[in-house]
Amino acid sequence: MTTADHRSRTRLSTGHEISLPLALSLAMGGVVVPARRSRLEAILPDALSSLAIAPGVGCVALVAIQYHRVGGDDRDTTGLEPYDEFAVIIPAVHESRTNTPIAQLAGGEIGGYVHWLPVTTEPAVALGRELWGYPKERTDVTVTDGPNGVRAVVSGGRYGDRETVRLEVARPRISARARDWTLASYTTKEGTLVWTPVQIQGEVAIGIGPSVGTRLEVAPALARELGLWQRPVGRLYGSRVRARLLEGEWITE
């Protein structure tokens, strides 16, 4: 990952100044869970199609994030105070309406549509909504990265006052691999689809199948909306991850 030589600065409604690309450091733990594809298709914008992992079955990624740094570095004092976040992301393909995974991979770019993004501070809400259209809302989110792995609890918000999600992702027994990814993030802002590149670098462990110590509990309202199964089919964990969030591009086609 290279450091940007030229940065644009934006002032949020909260008065905070942000430089783009936005530099981040974080710990994260997440799971991938099967879901009814018909439910996911009803949520996604028309230009996106849910990634099919089996006939009639898509998937959802639920990822807990504990930010250590949000913007700024040794030369740049702009940024926000660190906060906790929980992401509900629907893996999706742009411009591909086919039902088979192989055809999807050949016909479009895989990314993730951000469906819900509860966070712990108002500046974090302003950051996501004003710059990229991320569906952030301030609610009770607690993310901890301990010796046994990442734990997250989300309460309140759009799905009611009670506990909405409880996630535990066990620290993997095998060593994490150094990874350098660029992922596509999709949002909707002012009725228009926005594509944003997200660069991720660091040691991240990925596991397939069930894992001892990895647990997921989801409130019925959220599970029904997504057609969500309760048993994860994959997981990821990284305790020292860096990322850069670039400026989004509006897709008008």
Encode pLDDT of 163-202 as tens digits.
Answer: 999 999 998 877 788 999 999 999 999 999 999 999 999 9
Band (pLDDT 50/70/90 cuts) for residue 253 is low
pLDDT at 8: 85
Burial class for 64, CB neighbours closer than 10 Å (0-12, 13-18, 19+): buried
- For 201-228, the pLDDT digits (tens) are 999 999 888 788 899 999 999 999 999 9
Mean pLDDT, range 220-245, rounded to an integer: 94
Amino acid at 101: P
Closest to 135 in 3D by CA, of 157, 109, 161: 157
Closest to 179 in 3D by CA, of 207, 206, 201: 201
The pair phi, psi for residue 75, each rounded to 5°, is -105, -10
- Identify which has the larger pLDDT, 81 or 76: 81
pLDDT at 219: 95
Mean pLDDT, range 221-244, rounded to an integer: 94
Prediction pTM value: 0.90
Separation CA 76–CA 137 (nearest Å): 27
Q: Answer yes or no: is pLDDT of 237 > 80.
A: yes
- For 84-142, the pLDDT digits (tens) are 999 999 999 986 444 444 444 444 467 999 999 999 999 999 999 999 999 999 999 99
Band (pLDDT 50/70/90 cuts) for residue 75 is low
At residue 158's C-alpha, the angle toward residues 154 and 161, to 5°, is: 60
Q: Answer yes or no: is pLDDT of 236 > 60.
A: yes
Mean pLDDT, range 8-19, rounded to an integer: 92
